[in-house]
């Protein structure tokens, strides 16, 4: 039986369940995440779309521009505008759930810190953390089980590499 993690927006109009633990967790220090969150970074839990169940309300997609040129849809509460998750590149089969919207957020810590080239100077990183100035190789960093889950979700969705 997989664990269920409840989450939602600030005002409570949108509630969701994350079925199981994420495949991997990013702490992203890029300037886009800084601006979009109004903070120093975003913490994203990467999980298969079919493991996220909306139980109340309906988030709305807000389309953002990115440096890469790929689409970035941020799903927000239509009332309070809390960002709940993102779909980078419109994959459709994998979401980047904002860890801070989970009720049990303290159970999740980043597997990697990415885009630290733009990390604000006063943010310290834990000793021994996996730190990357840009992005990283998921083949090198992800556990085999997570790589298999990602590949299964991609194939199930009929997505190209």
Burial class (CB in 10 A: 0-12, 13-18, 19+), 65: exposed
Supply the pLDDT for residue 105.
97
Domain ranges of the chain: 4-156
Supply the pLDDT for residue 161.
60
- In the block, which residue shows the tokens 């993102």? 86
What CATH number labels 4-156? 3.90.1590.10
Work out the angle at residue 38's Cα, subtended by the Cα atoms of residues 21 and 128, and round it to the nearest 5 degrees. Answer: 50
| Number of neighbours of residue 87 by Cβ within 10 angstroms | 18
b (16+ CB within 10 A) / e for 8-46 = bbeeebbbbebeebbbbbbbbbbebbbebeeeebbbbbb
Query: pLDDT of the chain along its 161 residues, tens only?
Result: 579 999 999 999 999 999 999 999 999 999 989 998 999 999 999 999 999 999 999 999 999 887 777 889 999 999 999 999 999 989 999 999 999 999 999 999 999 999 999 999 999 999 999 999 999 999 999 999 999 999 999 999 987 76
Supply the pLDDT for residue 11.
98
């Amino acid at each position: 039986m997989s664990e269920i993690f409840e989450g939602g927006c600030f005002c409570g109009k949108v509630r969701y369940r994350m079925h199981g633990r994420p495949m991997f967790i990013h702490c992203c220090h890029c300037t886009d995440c800084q601006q979009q969150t109004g903070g120093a970074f975003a913490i994203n839990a990467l999980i298969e779309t079919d493991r996220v169940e909306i139980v109340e309300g309906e988030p709305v997609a807000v389309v953002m521009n990115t440096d890469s040129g790929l689409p970035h849809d941020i799903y927000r509460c239509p009332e309070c505008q809390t960002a709940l998750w993102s779909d980078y590149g419109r994959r459709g089969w994998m979401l980047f759930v904002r860890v801070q919207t989970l009720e049990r957020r303290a159970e999740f810590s980043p597997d990697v810190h990415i885009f630290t080239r733009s990390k604000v100077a006063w943010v310290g990183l834990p000793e021994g953390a996996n730190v990357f100035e840009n992005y990283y190789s998921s083949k090198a960093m992800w556990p085999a089980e997570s790589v298999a889950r990602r590949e299964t979700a991609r194939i199930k969705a009929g997505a190209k590499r």
